Amino acid sequence: MIGVLIYPDFQLLDASGPISVFEIAARFAGNDPAIKTLAATPGPVRSSSGVEMLARGLKPSSAITTLIVAGGNGVRTAATCPKTLAFVRALAKRGVRVASVCSGAYVLAEAGLLDGRRATTHWQRTRHFVSAYPKVKLEADRIYARDGNIWTSAGISAGIDLALAMVVEDYGDEVAQRTAKQLVLYHRRSGGQSQFSSLLELKAPTGRFGPLLAWAREHLDAPLTVEDLAEHAGMSSRHFTRAFIAETGTTPSKAVERLRIEVARQRVQSSSEAIERVAETTGFRDPERMRRAFIRAFGQPPQSLRRAARAG
């Protein structure tokens, strides 16, 4: 059963978006949807739009396999509710998949579930979130992040992206694609919160090579050859390459380039760091090589992206 935790002044789409994804996916998978809205105080719960949803109380239930915490204007109050925090902690301790949409990450952080973990939240909350929860490894540009059984997503509509990723895990890629098509959505968005997140473009970012890709992202200044990646994965180069392509839909070298582009783009747009320095530290080495990669990915060179970011 999918549990969606709401509270007074929650953001309606944070709850209704994932609910719609799971409803449609379950029907495509031949199952009856099993989704419940939950709240510390059962009954009608008013969203920030004024629209209400009817919620059940926070009673421990072994039927809950996934808990999604909505974000919204009322999240600060919800994040200080002992009953809510105890409920979230209990489910996480039991191994339930726990997720947040947008600022719902505050509830997970207050419950201690994000300490030492990778997470994300709405870009407007980044500065405050980082200062409030220094133990969290915040990845501000991600559409969603997963660390073990804890998932977090960025602003509002990103909860739909997160739910679709969960559908891939629960029912497989075909059901997720059909669900996205039914909702008239991209199966996987190609952009991060600031337009591009290469890791999410991969066909199966949460599969067995997910940890390897996360490791590669932290070591972009290294050569990261196929042999390097295969060794880190504990596989022969030939077997690794075949398995990687089968699971992610791309080659190891293209995946590494996408990761380099992602990090380089972030630094080009958000800092005054020399282009040559960005190319060196992200593994491109040669600025011309990075320029060609940017043109392939964005249709324009790094300098143009920097000018556009400053103009905006």
Q: What is the CATH number of the domain that holds 178?
A: 3.40.50.880
Query: Which tens digit of pLDDT belongs to each residue from 47-60?
Result: 999 999 999 999 87
pLDDT at 197: 44
Nearest to 165 by CA among 309, 76, 66, 258: 66
Q: Taking the CA of residue 311 as centre, how many other CA atoms within 13 Å lie in the half-sphere pointing to its CB?
A: 6
Say if 173 falls within a structural domain: yes
Convert the pLDDT of each residue in 72-102 to its tens digit.
999 999 999 999 999 999 999 999 999 999 9
207 plus 184 within the same structural domain? no
Residues 55 and 170 in one domain: yes
- CA–chain centroid gap for 141, Å, is 9
Those residues with Cβ within 8 angstroms of residue 67's Cβ, 6 or more apart along the chain or in another chain: 2, 3, 4, 5, 38, 88, 91, 96, 97, 98, 99
CA angle 240, 242, 248 (to 5 degrees): 90
d(CA 107, CA 105): 5
Beta bridge partners of 69: 5, 100
Count: domains in the chain: 2
In a domain, 222, yes or no: yes
Q: Are residues 30 and 163 in the same domain?
A: yes
The Cα–Cα gap between 154 and 60 comes to: 27
Establish how many alpha carbons lie within 13 A of residue 39's alpha carbon, considering only the half-sphere containing its beta carbon: 23
Count of CA atoms in the C-beta half-sphere (13 A) of 106: 25
Catalytic residues: 102
Instruction: Identify whether residues 206 and 147 lie together within a single domain.
Output: no
Kindly report the pTM of this predicted structure: 0.64
Same domain, 114 and 174: yes
Write out the residue range of the structural domain in which residue 214 sits: 199-311
Q: For residue 118, count other CB atoms closer than 10 A to its CB.
A: 17
166 and 81 share one domain = yes
Is the residue at 52 inside a domain? yes
Residue at 194 is within a domain? no
**Mutual orientation of helices 226-233 and 237-248 as an angle, nearest 10°?**
90
pLDDT at 142: 76
Q: Comparing 156 with 118, which gets the higher pLDDT?
A: 118
Q: Is residue 57 part of a domain?
A: yes
Q: Say if residue 119 is in the same domain as residue 13.
A: yes
pLDDT digits (tens, 9 = 90+) for 190-231: 444 443 444 445 544 556 888 898 899 889 999 999 999 999
